[in-house]
Amino acid sequence: MNPLEKTKIQLGYIPLLDCIALLWAKERGFFEEFGLDVTLVKEASWASLRDRLAFGVLDAAHCLSAMLPAAAIADDQIGIPLKTPLVLSINRAYISLSQSLSHALSIQAADSAQINAQKLVNHIQHGQPVALAHVFKHSIHHYCLREWLALAHLQTAQQIALKTLPPPYMVEALSSGLIDGFCVGEPWNIQGEIEGVSQIVASSRDIIPPIADKVLAVTQEWALKHPNTLIALTAAVLKAQKELETLNDYAPVWKMLVEFNIIRFKCSPQVHVQKYYVIESIIRNFVENNAAPDPHHFIWLFEQMQKWDDSVNHFDQTSIEHLSQNCIEHDVYQNALAQIAI
């Protein structure tokens, strides 16, 4: 391996299941194996994580994929380009509504995403106020909520005002009546169901294509200055991903998730059998054996920005394709893959 330009790394994350490869790489000593001294930094919100990454407080971070196209065209009000060498999760969000609203809408387990969207839109059109939240303006969660409502009524999807909340506060906000539903990644939908305050009514996989949700990201400048360090960092996280895909005993993983305060509810393979193994399956299949960034994912994200945000300039297809390619730190994934195969 070539000499590393930097060994002490501040690595940011938001407490969600799909930061798990970062935590597991630290837990298993993979960062040290590749010559890195990594400090994991828990961030309170996606906004704080984005800002601290952009301005150099963090070296790298667990990021929303849509942050990268937003940064590329300065729609994030910062305009510091971000790049990714590695996908951390692909389209693993869910939409949950409060138990009371689900009951009022007569939501049934067999209902499709479109049927549930129609029930909610009918409720709204009859003058009933509904407060829905997502995690961040530039996220598949935002686009998923609008695309879900658009299955029933495009104008409602365009006009509804959506709230933004950090993922760890979703269940609390719903329980206290501040919101009536949310779109977020796990484990927050499962927590809401186990605690009896919400019901999952749609999966993002039934609404939008299999698009990267979270990625490992650095600034473009950081990537240029630290190419060997970025390969080492990517290799450590990639090694963790691959081990999590095939791990036999998930008890240490579960213990780690509890210690990092990501799992904040009782969920055991003896009592909550279905939920426990749903979480295990999600972790095993976050990237479905392919964590290489795909420019087509970023093309879709750019198109969603144009579709749902009038303030975004309409770029032609050639420009979108070029900008999408620039979101990816090319060759790093293959170099990292080669490192873990040695």
pLDDT, tens digit, 9 for 90 and up, residues 50-95: 999 999 999 999 999 999 999 999 888 899 999 999 999 999 899 9
CB within 8 Å of 285: residues ≥ 6 apart: 245
CB within 8 Å of 286: residues ≥ 6 apart: 17, 18, 20, 21, 88, 89, 90, 92, 241, 244
Angstrom distance (rounded) from CA 20 to CA 253: 9
Name the band, by pLDDT with cuts 50, 70 and 90, for residue 342. Answer: low
pLDDT at 1: 64
Higher-scoring residue by pLDDT: 26, 168? 26
Angstrom distance (rounded) from CA 60 to CA 302: 22
Three-class secondary structure of residue 211 per DSSP: coil
Angstrom distance (rounded) from CA 211 to CA 217: 16
Q: How many degrees, rounded to 5, is the angle at CA 121 between CA 117 and CA 122?
A: 120
Angstrom distance (rounded) from CA 81 to CA 74: 8
Structural domains of the chain, ranges and CATH numbers in brackets:
8-90+211-341 (3.40.190.10), 93-206 (3.40.190.10)
Per the prediction, the chain carries an average pLDDT of 94
DSSP output for 144-162: HHHHHHHTT-HHHHHH---
Name the band, by pLDDT with cuts 50, 70 and 90, for residue 290. Answer: confident
User: Which string of b and e fits 194-231 if b means at least 16 CB within 10 Å?
Assistant: beebbbbbbbbeebbeebbbbbbbbbbebbeebbebbb
Higher-scoring residue by pLDDT: 12, 92? 12
Give me the mean pLDDT over the 287-293 stretch: 90
Q: What is the pTM of this model?
A: 0.94
Name the band, by pLDDT with cuts 50, 70 and 90, for residue 311. Answer: low
Where is 185: in which H helix or E strand? strand 181-185
Is there a cis peptide before residue 252, judged by omega within 30 degrees of 0?
Answer: no
Burial class for 45, CB neighbours closer than 10 Å (0-12, 13-18, 19+): middle
CB within 8 Å of 6: residues ≥ 6 apart: 59, 226, 229
Percent of the chain with pLDDT over 90: 84
Two tokens, residue 289: 């054996």
CA quadruple 132, 196, 212, 153: dihedral positive or negative?
A: negative
Instruction: Name the residue among 70, 68, 53 with its Cα closest to residue 294.
Output: 68
Two tokens, residue 132: 């829905």
Name the band, by pLDDT with cuts 50, 70 and 90, for residue 289. Answer: confident
Give me the mean pLDDT over the 177-203 stretch: 95
Reported as a single tens digit per residue, the pLDDT across 128-186 is 999 999 999 999 999 999 999 999 999 999 999 999 999 999 999 999 999 999 999 99
Name the band, by pLDDT with cuts 50, 70 and 90, for residue 270. Answer: low
